[in-house]
Amino acid sequence: MPWYSAGYTGLSVTALPSVPPSDDSMIRAALVRSAISCQTIEQLVRVLTRELWQIGYVARIQHDPANRAVVLVEISTDR
C-alpha cells in the first residue's frame, strides 16, 4: 500500500489466515481512509483499528527483518 508519510514510501499489509478473503474490499477501504488522514505510523494504526473495529478486526504494526513496517490485520478477540 503506498503511504508517503513519516519517511515511508509504502506499507506492507497482511491479513492473517483467519480473516476471510470476502472482507478484503472492506479492509482495503478502511486502509485507504486511514492512510489519507495520518502522518505517523502510530496515528495510522490507531485510526485504522478504529475503522476496522466496526467490522470486527484490529490492526497492529510489526517490523520485518529489514525494519520495514508491516500492518497486520486480524479478527478482534474483544467482540
Q: Residue 14: in which H helix or E strand, if any?
A: strand 12-15
pLDDT value of residue 53 = 92
pLDDT digits 0-9 by tens, 3-14: 888 788 888 888
Three-state secondary structure call for residue 49: helix
pTM, rounded to two decimals: 0.78
Give the H or E element holding residue 72: strand 69-75
Parse the chain into domains and list their residue ranges: 12-75
